[in-house]
Amino acid sequence: MNQAEAARRAMAEWLADEHELGSMPECLEQTQEFDLHDLHYYIFRYKPTRNHPDWLLGVAGGYEKDALDHCGHVFSEMEVYQETSAVDQAVALVEQVRAYCMREAAKQEEAAGIGPFAGFVLLREARWDPRKLAEDLRETWQIEIRELPDDPDQPLVAEVDGMTVAVSLMGAPVPDQEAERNAENNYLWPQAVERTKQHRAHLLVAVLGRDQTALSQASLYTKLVASCCRQDGVLGVYTTGTVYEPELYREVAEQMNEGELPIYDWVYLGLYRSEAGMCAYTYGLQAFGKREMEVLDSAASPQQLHDFLYALASYVLDQDVTLNDGETIGFSAEEKLPITCGPGRSLDQTMLQISYQPA
């Protein structure tokens, strides 16, 4: 059996599945081939029954060189086959399957305790320029994206340093006013809610690693989002539990060029007042496999609490430290702040509570 025959068998078996046609197609013909992301694909046209009025399109792949095993990109949306646009149709199907596989893998990675590294770049209108994104990535971060979608409506999917990056245009606001609600959390940007309400579309940005560390994935994700912020009509960045001002997100990201971690882009520092004092918490450490932290009922000022948690989050991520129940933490030889682990008051999850009072 050669590769084309293996692809035909894979296509036929996929179509015969009970969740698809439920039986072998009456007619199945291979028509064209193409290469995408260093893999080889076969395009098919088929008829569910001999009397079906239209030929429908399917694609099977991708194959490495002469291999007979495909990577799982066997799919059809049962759309009408068009000879002149079959390759474009098939490429769109493959990118759709790749994006789905990325989302599923991200869920598995999140369940394993890392990630997801995904977020939304809010747009004034449903328009973006993939070529400009590639130019900005090259100029600012020396990242090369070689395969760009011909149609901006198709997702950009590429491999960078062994990680998969994806940017997809969504022609509608983030559902259920989720972005607007979370924009209320950004006490550093008074216009956050007003700007967020103006968005009519968004870019879904994601990075999926394999064996890479959480820091490597987060760094690439932040570089990608920061470059997306240079697109026309960007209103905000919805990630890590809040909506960031695009210019500030980009400025913080560029600290990586100086060897610093962009903590403000990775970890949201929440502040609120209780009856007994000021409280603060982190949101974002969980993506790095760390527990979120909170300080409760402190006599510290909001600025003191903010600076303390920022320093603590920086220490945990920069030094890859895992804090545990019953330990102490401090930034001097004399400072020993107790750490307890229990149900969070700030977030609905188990958190580390740090007992902090100003000197």
The rounded mean pLDDT for the chain is 92
In the prediction, which pLDDT does 102 show? 67
Question: pLDDT higher for 88 or 111?
Answer: 88
- pLDDT bracket for residue 109 (50, 70, 90): low
Helix (H) or strand (E) holding 130: helix 130-141
Measure Cα distances from 305 to 186, 293, 297 in Å: 16, 12, 11
In the prediction, which pLDDT does 174 show? 93
**Pairing of β 39-47 and β 242-244:** unpaired
The residues near 140 (Cβ < 8 Å, ≥ 6 apart) are 223, 226, 227, 254, 257
**Mean pLDDT score, 129-155:** 92
* Best CA proximity match to 184, nearest among 200, 195, 173, 176: 195
Question: pLDDT higher for 123 or 70?
Answer: 123
In the prediction, which pLDDT does 218 show? 97
In the prediction, which pLDDT does 153 show? 86
% of the chain with per-residue pLDDT over 70: 97
Report whether pLDDT(170) > 70.
yes
Question: Among all chains, which residue has been given the structure tokens 């599945």?
Answer: 17
Q: List residues bridging with 283 in a β-sheet.
A: 268
Structure tokens at 267: 């970890």
d(CA 58, CA 86): 9
d(CA 138, CA 230): 13
Q: Which tens digit of pLDDT belongs to each residue from 24-64?
A: 999 999 999 999 888 899 999 999 998 999 999 999 998 98
Structure tokens at 189: 């940007």
Question: pLDDT higher for 149 or 3?
Answer: 3
User: Contact at 8 Å (CB) between 19 and 78?
Assistant: no
Least confident piece of the model among 257-266, 304-313, 325-334: 325-334
Question: Given strand 27-36, what is the order of strands in its sheet?
Answer: 27-36, 39-47, 56-63
In the prediction, which pLDDT does 151 show? 86
d(CA 349, CA 352): 10
Least confident piece of the model among 108-112, 263-267, 282-286: 108-112
3-state DSSP helix/strand/coil % of the chain, to nearest 5: 35, 30, 40
In the prediction, which pLDDT does 231 show? 97
Report whether pLDDT(295) > 90.
yes
288 DSSP assignment = G
Structure tokens at 15: 């179509």
- pLDDT bracket for residue 105 (50, 70, 90): low
3-state secondary structure of 156: strand
Q: Which tens digit of pLDDT belongs to each residue from 313-351?
A: 999 999 999 998 888 998 887 888 999 999 999 999 999
In the prediction, which pLDDT does 97 show? 84
Residue count of the chain: 359
Beta-carbon count within 10 A of 217 CB = 24
Q: Which tens digit of pLDDT belongs to each residue from 172-211?
A: 999 999 999 999 999 999 999 999 999 999 999 999 887 7
Report whether pLDDT(152) > 90.
no
In the prediction, which pLDDT does 45 show? 97
For the chain, the structural domain boundaries read: 3-97, 113-264, 267-354
The H helix count followed by the E strand count for the chain is 9, 15
